[in-house]
Amino acid sequence: MLYRIFHWKVFKFLGNLTFSIFLLLTISTLSIVGTIIEQNQTLDYYKLKYPANTEQWNLNWVLIKNCQLDQLYTSWFFLLLMLVFAVSLIVCTFSTQLPSLKNARRWKIKKQLGQENRLGKTHINQYSTYSFSLYNLNKIGYHAFYQAGTIYGYKGIYGRLAPVFVHLSLILLLAGSVISLFSSFYIQELIPEGESFNLQNTTNAGQLSKVPSYITGRIEKFSIEYYSDLSVKQFYSSVQLYNHQSKKSNEKTISVNRPMKFEGLTIYQTDWEIYGLKIKIGNNKAVQIPTTKIASGNNRYWVASIPYANDNYLSFVLSNIEGNVGCYDQKGELIQDIRVGQFYSINHIPVEINSILTSTGLQIKQDPGVNLIYSSFVLLMLSSTISYMSFSQIWILQNTNCISISGFTNRAQIGFEEDLWTIKRIVVNNQ
């Protein structure tokens, strides 16, 4: 008996609305902390940014590590809070919201109409008539019922679904977040044009995630679209993916904000890079020389150098893949601007830049919980919309010499008053 009483108290406590709100505020507060404190960084990063001060208390790396604030969203206490909150929402939904919705659909026939003046309740005085039908209530949108001289009508029952949808959307959001946390992975790749690649270089992965080794890809082509001033407008990668198990393949040209989807993977265009020049000097074969990126303000430059006779060398500087390549001597003086694919004679030596070697930056991710998260947002928007529907109730008592009218609504007072006055006009006209 005591066992049942204990479980009932726990069940009732979990379904308490105040407890659910407290859990939601706690989770929101921890999420703010996780936004302020950078997550999943190295220990040296936290030691440098949050040094320990022995003279006074402060937010330091020791506190961050001991309280798992550097991995807040995967910490045991945050996951426990999410679990308890989900259970609380489920209990509250089945113990409070669904019974409340079922109760709203029941007939609430009254033998007497109270005269107390409460917010949301309106009374109309009695009218000397005997003529009133259910059809009159149906015309203004009410579901009407009659029993023993009493009429009961209600409308806007769908507005009572809003709390149920809110709870369901939060449950889906929590479920999707946990699935994403444990089953998703993110991969960053920098792939040269024309090269094949496997799924590797994982930057973040859940404990239950599995990177498919049977999927490979290839960058068929990379191109950049420029504005008239040669600033980058957009860049494109033609990506080909192949599943060695199902023998399925797909090819698509992606760009920023236009990803590619394949076998549960989403491939985003993130960045690009110039990693080298293919150049021919004299009668020698063309060689590839690496470039070094140099940042100057908001501008990026790539520099490559190649030696030739008598320990001399030439340097090549470029800022894009469309314009000229500046050729400089060892003193740093500009010799000539070179176009790709054309021969030039520099210091009596034939020089030709065959091509600029580029690589494209891709982010490849798999997130099985994202559909649940998006569904929760749709449900939340739907619940916000239907929550504006007012739930109204009307009672009409027909006595031997008069009719008494009373009503109640939870919102939209003016519209409800119009319904009552419509009923009044019907009653008066039928006298």
Walk along the chain (431 residues) and give the pLDDT tens digit of each residue: 555 655 667 777 777 778 888 888 998 898 899 888 888 788 888 888 888 775 656 788 888 888 888 888 888 888 888 888 888 888 887 777 777 767 666 656 665 655 443 334 444 455 544 455 677 777 888 887 777 777 888 888 777 778 888 888 888 888 888 888 888 999 998 999 989 999 988 888 888 888 998 999 999 999 988 888 777 889 999 999 999 998 999 999 999 989 999 988 999 999 889 999 998 887 778 888 899 988 877 788 899 988 876 777 888 998 888 768 888 888 888 888 888 888 888 877 888 888 889 999 999 999 998 899 999 899 888 888 887 778 888 887 776 666 777 788 877 777 787 877 887 777 666 55
Would you say the pTM of this structure is higher than 0.75?
A: no
257 alpha-carbon distance from chain centroid: 15
Could you give the angle at which helices 370-386 and 162-183 cross, rounded to 10 degrees?
170
Residues 246, 314 contacting (CB under 8 angstroms) = no
How far from 328 is each of 36, 72, 339, 393, CA to CA, in Å? Answer: 47, 52, 14, 86
Cβ contact 248:261 at 8 Å: no
How far apart, in Å, are the Cα atoms of 407 and each of 105, 122, 125, 155, 166?
Answer: 16, 5, 12, 12, 28
CA–CA separation, 332 vs 321, rounded Å? Answer: 22
Name the phi and psi angles at 159, rounded to 5: -65, -25
What does residue 318 show for φ and ψ, rounded to 5 degrees? -145, 155
Q: What is the DSSP letter of 283?
A: T
Cβ–Cβ under 8 Å, residues 237 and 213: no
CATH architecture of 105-156+390-429: 2-Layer Sandwich (3.30)
Domain ranges of the chain: 2-100, 105-156+390-429, 183-271+362-381, 274-360
Helix extents (H) in 144-192: 162-183
Task: Judge whether 319 and 303 are in contact, CB under 8 Å.
Answer: no
Q: Are 362 and 237 in contact (CB under 8 A)?
A: yes
Query: CA torsion 208→209→210→216, rounded to 10°?
Result: 180
